[in-house]
Chain A
Amino acid sequence: MSSTTASAAALPADPKASTAGAAKKPVNPRSAKRRRSLAQWGFIAPAVIFMALFFGYPLVRNIVMSFQDYSPSTFFTGKAPFNGLDNWTNVFEDGLFGKALWQTILFTVGSLVGQFCIGLALAVFFTRRFPLNGILRSLILLPWLVPMVVSGIVWRRIFDQDTGVLNSFLGTVGLPGDTPWLTSTSMALISVILVNIWIGIPFNMVILYGGLQEVPKELHEAASLDGASAWRTFRSVTLPMLKPVITVVLVLGFMSTVKILDLVLALTDGGPADSTQTLGTLTYQNSFVQMDFGAGAVVGNILILISAVFAVFYLRVNRNEGK
């Protein structure tokens, strides 16, 4: 993954290099140069147009929309009067926003920590050679293949307080079998995080496993010759070598977790009593339940802003790796 981004980053540098090469041959330099730069633009144009159309336009539209009174009647009249900061103040004054923001942070941090630690542990585990290694590894990929909404529905059944498999299992092994997984305001968010960890483990494991394959065996041998313990080797050799991969996993994980929507809708609908409401569900609720598209756009923009900060961070880290 890091190699593709590296080559993409190298692209803008490429044209200059080739024009420099052209300058060496003085065969009608002007028209050749022009033709070449035209060709270069021709190659870039589809990408630029695509980005502008499918990323730039919606992004700008969403920002503009957050300053407009955008209601169902807008679809008929085409009129969406600007209302200054009204949408923004409405959203910030709504107590639900702060709650959703806090819960989004808890959800994201909890999910990332859980996914990453378990994913890394499994990745390390699978670097050993043992029978059925390959089969087990592919079985662990299963949660990744299940659509989010299906996972949500299945887990809702599993978590049911009275008839769910989980509680009846806990009951049979002598643990309290009446945990209110999704029905208590203090448990629901934890349960949703647990499901998201379950969903995210395969991704973390696969990427980290790939990263581990890249760590040269000689380094481990050298470490063990120096008398380092397994833990010490892991900490001082494996982890530092994995750093670029870890950054990728965490940043990509962050960006897919922070905007969570489908899983929460399928599991709890944001309830009970808004205890699993996140910024993602809030945008959905504002836009498609209350039909207040301006307020929905505000929350959407805040989500984009948070993701953008992390995307910039990711690009910087990657650039430094390239140096």
Chain B
Amino acid sequence: MYTVMNSSTDESYHRWDAQTLARCSKQLGVKIEQQSVPAAQVMTKALRMASSKSLPDVLQLDASEMPTFAEAGGLIPLKDLGLTTEDIPEGIVNFGSYDGKYYGAARTVNTLALFYNKDTLDKAGLEVPTTWAEMQATAKKLTQGKRYGLALSAGGAEDGVFQFTPFMWSNGGDETKLDSPQVAGALDYWKGLLKDGSLSKSTVNWTQADVNDQFMAGNAAMMINGPWQVETLNSKKGLNWGIAQIPVPGAGDDSVGPLGGGVLTVPNTGDSEREKMSAKIIGCMSGEQEEITYALNSWMVPANAKAAAVWRTKVPELSALADQVATARSRTAKLGAQWSSVSLALQSAFQSALTGESSEAALKRAQQQVTSGN
């Protein structure tokens, strides 16, 4: 009996995973059991299991949490167990790597994109924006009555930081130096949207799910959000939405979004025979066909390049997402387990800036906070 622990507590995700595992157990001739715990508890639960020596055979971690677990010595490098990274784009290999070692295989990845209400844009005779200036102008024109031009999440948790990264990175900024003019420029852009009235003041209190609710209710004409919202978006009849890459500072710049999603890892249990079988289970779960099936179910993009190519032909309307993934970056590639403290400092900084402080001062304090180790 092998166990796979994941955060698929939603009925649909749990069912899709159960189906995948049923196929894999048939293929490998072993029994596989699924354990799902809420996403916020995976890390702490896994740590407790580590101290009682009862870790699962396969552990699905959020990619931003994986470095912490790997740093603690809790994971086995997948290549040592015979898994290859063939056909996986470099960005996604990095996404599953810590300190140069590949620990986590992604089945699918997600990122952020610009969602827009086609009807609203058509009615106003506006094009889908591709640059910051265009987005600001479009958002301003679309802000009417109760409707805001754009919605995004700048909440005081990881959601907000996730949403800030494409602005920071596309502007050439970096999480290793929060007080650079590039990061300040990105934050000033957010501040400008807020000042124009194109963003609701509630932005600092919204999670990504709130943003989606506002968009669906017609309170926002465009939003920054991820493909995991698509299932909900499609449940609303008459909502005619489109998707595009997140606009960039200047024409011709790369739109760099954040990679998100879970990675499958093999925890260090000390039983090398079982660990080898665990790697085979991961190999099966992230096989080309399984990835396509999972991607089509969950509206995310397959990690494997070949699978992604097939997927594109099946859901052409989401190809903007695949383009965004191709240039997307992992949040923890540079900082590893350090990310969580940088993320906290950054949250505090953009919230200060959006509620009145100057971007420079807020970011300078954030950088000091990170450097002093608090």
Contact = CB atoms under 8 A, between A and B. Distances in A.
B47 A75 contact: yes
B73 interface: yes
Given A183-B205, A268-B156, A289-B340, A93 B372 contact: yes
Contact of A72 (B74, B201, B357, B369): B74
A72 B351 contact: no
Nearest to B268: A76
B71 interface: yes
A288 B68 CA distance: 12
Contacts, number: 109
Contacts of A273: 156, 348, 351-352, 355, 357, 362
B373 A162 contact: no
Interface in A185-218: 185
Contact of B214 (A71, A163, A289): A163
A271 B204 contact: yes
Contacts of B357: 273
Contacts of B47: 72, 75
B210 to A, nearest CB: 8
B155 interface: yes
A60 interface: no
B217 interface: yes
Contacts of B369: 94-95
B219 to A, nearest CB: 6
Nearest to A285: B344
A270 interface: yes
Interface string A61-97: 0000000000111111110000000000010011110
Given A72-B47, A76-B50, A90-B373, A290 B340 contact: yes
Contacts of A272: 156, 204-205, 351-352, 354-355
B341 A290 contact: yes
Contacts of B315: none
A270 B219 contact: no
A277 B374 CA distance: 15
B220 to A, nearest CB: 10
B356 interface: yes
Contacts of B68: 72, 291
A268 B157 CA distance: 9
Contacts of A307: none
A112 B243 CA distance: 49
B72 A185 contact: no
A274 B348 CA distance: 6
B351 A271 contact: yes
A75 B351 contact: no
Most buried by A among B72, B155, B202, B219: B202
A301 interface: no
Contact of B155 (A185, A269, A290): A269
B67 to A, nearest CB: 10
Q: Indicate the size class of the contact surface on chain B.
A: 35 or more
A76 B351 contact: no
A269 to B, nearest CB: 4
B237 interface: no
A76 B344 contact: no
A160 interface: yes
A182 interface: yes
Interface in B24-40: none
Contact of A289 (B74, B155, B201, B344): B344
Nearest to B157: A269
Given A271-B347, A290-B341, A75 B72 contact: yes
B48 interface: yes
Interface in B337-374: 337, 340-341, 344, 347-348, 351-352, 354-357, 362, 369, 372-374
A271 B219 CA distance: 23
A161 interface: yes
B268 A94 contact: no
Contacts of B205: 156, 160, 182-183, 268, 271-272
B146 to A, nearest CB: 7
B44 interface: yes
A184 interface: yes
Contacts of A110: none
A288 B73 CA distance: 18
A288 B217 CA distance: 34
A161 B203 CA distance: 10
Contacts of B200: 161-162
Contacts of A269: 155-157
B69 interface: yes
B51 interface: yes
B156 A76 contact: no
Most buried by B among A180, A183, A184, A268: A183
Interface string A288-305: 111100000000000000
A37 to B, nearest CB: 39
Interface in B200-239: 200-205, 214, 217, 219
Given A269-B156, A269-B157, A272-B156, A73 B48 contact: no
Most buried by A among B43, B73, B205, B354: B205
Contacts of B352: 185, 272-273
Interface of B: 43-44, 47-48, 50-51, 68-69, 71-74, 146, 148, 155-157, 200-205, 214, 217, 219, 268, 337, 340-341, 344, 347-348, 351-352, 354-357, 362, 369, 372-374
Given A74-B51, A269-B155, A269-B156, 18 more contacts: A75-B47, A75-B50, A75-B74, A96-B374, A161-B201, A162-B200, A162-B202, A163-B214, A183-B201, A183-B202, A183-B205, A185-B351, A271-B347, A272-B351, A272-B354, A272-B355, A273-B362, A290-B344
Interface of A: 71-78, 90, 93-96, 156, 160-163, 180, 182-185, 268-274, 285, 288-291
Q: What are the nearest 7 A-B pairs in CB distance?
A: A271-B156, A73-B72, A72-B72, A273-B351, A273-B352, A94-B374, A269-B156
